[in-house]
Structure 1
Amino acid sequence: MYSGIAQAVVPVIDRTAGDGSTSYTLRLPAELLDGLKLGASVNVDGVCLTVVTMAGDLVSFDVSDGTMAITNLGDRTVGSRVTVERSMRAGDENGGHNVTGHVSGTARVTGINTSTGALFLRVAIPEPHRRYVFVRGYLALNGCSLTVAEADEATGEVKINLIPETVRQTSLSDYRIGDRINYEVELQTQIMVDTIERCVRQSLQRAA
């Protein structure tokens, strides 16, 4: 589990396609290497990945073809910047919201505004996840815990306001209109909406 609070932005050092998976090598800063072991989970652009090799500050992860198909990691090449977060430990403060690293899908960036010094980002959430996104609710983009400022359920377009510190600490400013970005809907909201819809549906069936 992750907090959605980005800890670093790091470059992709190597990308190697294999049989059924692609290997990515990242250069992690010293503070993220402390206590890191083979098999540990690391959130990379919103995707929970497992450490498979370590050599100094170079850490590698294998991404299955299935994961590549539902995330934007296939768009990341050598030199691309990615946002990373180590998994939370019991008792850690959670300044964001619980992020699982199980990406719901990818959304297209539809609007960018940096005229005020902050970053205003618009993305279009596909069906069927639009019903889980609410104004003032949580949404993770590339693993970053963010608050929805505006939401249009009909089009799926949501607006996110990013303060300068969030811009500095993430790779979100690298994105342009038309790019794909990983999103993860907030799990508790999804459970609540699905439960209510199921209960209403069952009630209507019984009444009929």
Structure 2
Amino acid sequence: MFTGLVEEIGVVRRVEAAPMGARLTIAVKEIIAGTRVGDSIAVNGACLTVVELMPAAIVAEVMAETLRVTNLGSLKPGDKVNLERALRLGDRLGGHLVSGHVDGVGEIKSKRRVGIAWEMEVAVPAGLERYIAPKGSLALDGTSLTVIDIKGNKVAVGLIPHTAAHTILGVKGPGDKVNVEVDLLARYLERLLARTPKEGGGEGLTWEFLAANGFI
């Protein structure tokens, strides 16, 4: 589990083809401290396992499915990536709960300066828009962001100067691809609402049930 607060921008040093996947060697500085083989790390928001440590780099294995459904499959030496170590119990949750399970790859459609910040519009894969709400949370390339607005499958988010300077979103622009992870609480809520009597959910979670039990 992660928070969506990027700790460091790493640089891809090597991409090695492996049976049904790949091995990524990523040059790092800060996050090498305290990292051990077997630890989880989010690379552009995708949860990977550290399989080898070097003096100033980590090596992670990426299975074929992850390469297919994220932007990690297009990485090449020299590319920069967002990095975050897994959340520890007791840590502050400054962003939102991010699982590291990417839902799809979106495309940046526009990026414009608005005051001190940047406003970015991203087209998300069809079907994900139902999990996204204005003022809700969204992770793009592993970065926790607040949704400004959503129209169809186009989502507007804002980047404050700190986010733009300390994540790769600051240098990405129209046409670039970003990993998208929706708020996992929205997925669980949908599942609860969709349960049927056959699945042991009675009539499911309905507005009538919520009202009758004082939730609304």
TM-score by length of 1: 0.90
Counting only pairs closer than 5 Å after superposition, residues 24-39 of structure 1 correspond to structure 2 as 24-29=24-29, 31-39=30-38
The DSSP-based 3-state class of the residue aligned with 2:125 is coil
How far apart, in 1, do the equivalents of 2:85 and 2:150 lie? 30
Residues 108-161 of structure 1 show CA distances to partners (whole Å, capped at 9, x for unaligned) of 111111364422111111222111000000000011111000011xx3100001
| Structure 2 match to 1:96 | 95
| Distance (Å, rounded) in 2 between the aligned partners of 1:78 and 1:136 | 36
SS at match of 2:23: strand
The one of 187, 191, 196 aligned to 1:194: 191
SS of residue in 1 equivalent to 2:189: helix
- In the alignment, what sits opposite 1:164? 161
SS at match of 2:121: strand
Calculate percent identity across the aligned residue pairs: 33
1:149-189 CA deviation, whole Å, 9 max, x = no partner? Answer: 0011xx31000011000011100123222221101011111
Cα distance in 1 for residues equivalent to 2:6 and 2:64: 25
Specify the alignment match of 1:179 in structure 2. 176
* Deviation per residue, 1:27-82 (Å, 9 max, x gap): 111x3112211111001100000001111111111111110000001122111110
d(CA) in 2 for partners of 1:90, 1:16: 34
Q: Which residue of 1 aligns with 2:210?
A: none
Q: Indicate the RMSD between aligned Cα atoms, in angstroms.
A: 1.9
Aligned residues: 201
Q: 3-state DSSP class of the match of 1:135?
A: coil
User: Which residue does the alignment assign to 1:82?
Assistant: 81
Do structure 1's residue 62 and structure 2's residue 64 form an aligned pair?
A: no
Post-superposition Cα deviations, 1:3-42, rounded to whole Å, max 9, x if no partner, equal 110101111111111221111111111x311221111100
- Structure of larger gyration radius: 2
Taking the aligned partners of 2:14 and 2:115, their CA distance within structure 1 comes to 36
Q: Distance in 2 between matches of 1:55 and 1:9?
A: 17
Q: Distance in 2 between matches of 1:82 and 1:14?
A: 13
Q: Which residue of 2 aligns with 1:114?
A: 113
SS of the equivalent of 1:114 reads strand
Which amino acid is 1:58 matched to? A
Q: Quick one: distance in 1 between partners of 2:192 and 2:125?
A: 21
How much has 1:101 moved relative to structure 2?
0.3
Q: Does 1:127 find its partner at 2:132?
A: no
How far did 1:203 drift? 5.1
Give the conservation status (yes or no) of the 8 Å contact 2:148–2:158. Answer: yes
Cα distance in 1 between the residues matched to 2:106 and 2:69 = 11
Give the AA of the match of 2:70: T
Aligned match of 2:144: 145
- Higher RCO structure, 1 or 2 (CA under 8 Å, sep 6+): 1
Which ranges in structure 2 are unaligned for 5 or more consecutive residues? 197-201, 205-216
The equivalent residue for 1:18 is: 18
Report if the CA contact (8 A) 2:118-2:158 is conserved: yes
